[in-house]
Structure 1
Amino acid sequence: MAAVRGTLLKHLRVNATPLPLLRNPKTFPNGLFNLTFNAVRCFSDVVMGSFLDKSEVTDRVVSVVKNFQKVDPSKVIPNAHFQKDLGLDSLDTVEVVMALEEEFGFEIPDNEAEKISTINHAVEFIASHPQAK
């Protein structure tokens, strides 16, 4: 069995040569630098940045909170605190978080849900979450 595996792997191997580390972008062949740079930039946006547009997330979060029964829609602003500004208790806050989960199509872990006490906290968490839709 090991001989068969060795023979199979020998035929499946592909020789690859690494690209030399070039410090000067002008020495990259045929725009490879731009392709590489754009790929790295996109990757860093995914790793470091947000996944959804924050203004869109803000609008959707504000809409969800405004539609919550116990909230006065005129008091809902992006930096509103759920308890202090909107008068919600801890159970109401849990219900708001559940409504946000339904709106954005993913489950917020309990340890993170406990940290969400303002609309801005919700926006920051949702905008940076890879599963938010």
Structure 2
Amino acid sequence: MATISATSATFGASLKPCFKNNKLVQVTGGTSTTLKMVRAGWGKNVFPALRTSRFNVCCAAKPETVQKVCEIVKKQLALSDETELTPESKFAALGADSLDTVEIVMGLEEEFGISVEEESSQNITTVQEAADLIEKLVQKKPEA
């Protein structure tokens, strides 16, 4: 048997959501925002292979970081300004090979003053993954 639960919360402060219609946006102004979360689960004996599956939506990176990553990707891949990049944009789908991905990572390191380990750089396949990794490394970076 499937179970579904929903919760919602209203915040008085103006929030800046990361996505609207699968596009990166910033919302300014407004006095309240309502967030809704829906959780779906399966009973013990229904679809046992799906019991451990989880659906996560994560927007850890700041919109500014995602925007800078998009700019660097466009520059490294020589994409036109009209090319629309979203956080879900995959480097391979944009025509990047492994060397292009290395150059993108090098551009990110230079722009943000960070150092990305080789094993971490091999796991970066989308704009969002790159932005999330940058946020994580910037937080770990010691203060100068």
Gaps of at least 5 residues in structure 1 are 1-49
Q: Please give the TM-score of this superposition, normalised by the length of structure 1.
A: 0.54
Matched, 1:112 2:107: no
Matched, 1:131 2:141: yes
| Inter-CA distance 65–96: structure 2 relative to 1 (3 Å threshold) | same
**1:104/1:132 contact within 8 Å kept:** no
**1:81/1:119 contact within 8 Å kept:** yes
Matched-pair identity in %: 35
Gaps of at least 5 residues in structure 2 are 1-59
Matched, 1:76 2:85: yes
Compare the two structures and name the one with the higher strand fraction.
Answer: 2
Aligned equivalents of 1:105, 1:63: Cα separation in 2: 16
> Counterpart in 2 of 1:61?
69
Aligned equivalents of 2:98, 2:121: Cα separation in 1: 11
1:132 shift after superposition: 9.0
Q: Which has the larger radius of gyration?
A: 1
Aligned residues: 81
Provide the secondary structure at the position in 1 that maps to 2:76: coil
Compare the two structures and name the one with the higher helix fraction.
Answer: 1
Q: Please give the TM-score of this superposition, normalised by the length of structure 2.
A: 0.50
* Alignment root-mean-square deviation, CA: 2.2
